[in-house]
Amino acid sequence: MSAAMNLQPMPAITVTSRAAKVMRDQLARRGTPSAKIRFGIRGGGCTGYSYLFEFEDREARASDHVIVKDGVTVIVDPKSMLMLDGTEIDFETGIRGHGFRFQNPNIKDSCGCGESITF
């Protein structure tokens, strides 16, 4: 009997059902229902970090984290995962328009429009 493994909590990214449904619809409308969504953090320098959120036509790389929700696959590279751990992806409709909203607990500061972020 081996010693109990000290389990690390799995990095968690949650996708709400509402967000998953919109992703699924958009993938279907794009004509690539089996493509994936890549979620990540990009950049730095004088523009600061920003979110990367795009269609991904290729397969996930071995090191990528894969999150599947209601048949939609979201993939995150391991480096971005450090800064996205605990993020919830939701979809919002309201007076400010429609779009995905990232609730990222790692964020310290963000610019006025929220597209550039600081950790």
Partner 1 sequence: MSTQEPMIADTGALFQIAEPTGRQATPRAPGRGIGIDLGTTNSLVAVAPHGEAPRALRDASGRALLPSVVSYVGDDVVVGYEAMAAQEEHSCAVISSVKRFMGRGIADVTWPHPYRLVSASGGGELFRVDVGGGRLVTPVEVSAAVLRALRERAEAVMGPVDGAVITVPAYFDDAQRQATRDAGKIAGLKVYRLLAEPTAAALAYGLDRGGRGLFAVYDLGGGTFDVSVLRLHDGVFQVLATGGDSALGGDDLDRALAAYLFTAGGHEGAPSRHQQELLRIAARAAKEALSERESVRVSVAACGIEGFEVRRETFEGLIDGLIERTIRACRATLRDAGVQPRELDGVVLVGGSTRTPLVRAAVARTFGKHPLADIDPDKVVAYGAAIQADVLSGSAREGVTLLDVAPLSLGIETMGGMVEKIIPRNAAIPIAARQVFTNYSEQQTGMQIHVVQGEREMAGECRSLARFELRGIPRLPPSMARVEVSFQLDADALLTVTARELMTGVRQSVEVKPTYGLNDEEIDRMVIESLDHASEDFAARSRAEARVELGRVVLAVRAALAEVGGLPGVLPAAERSAVEMQLTLADEAMAEPQSAADMLTLLRNQLERASEPFARRRMERALRAGMEGKSLHEIEQALAVEEAALDERRGAHSAETIEG
Q: Which residues of this chain interact with partner 1, rule CB under 8 A?
A: 23, 26, 37-38, 42-48, 51, 53-57, 63, 78-79, 82-83, 86, 92, 96-110, 113-115, 117-119
Instruction: Please give the angle made by the CA atoms of 115, 118 and 119, to the nearest 5 degrees.
Output: 135
Task: Tell me how far, at minimum, the Cβ of 90 lies from partner 1, in Å.
Answer: 10
**29, 30, 34, 35: CA torsion to nearest 10:** -140
Task: Tell me how far, at minimum, the Cβ of 44 lies from partner 1, in Å.
Answer: 6
What CA–CA distance (Å, rounded) separates 52 from 80?
A: 10
- Closest to partner 1 by CB, 2 vs 63, is 63
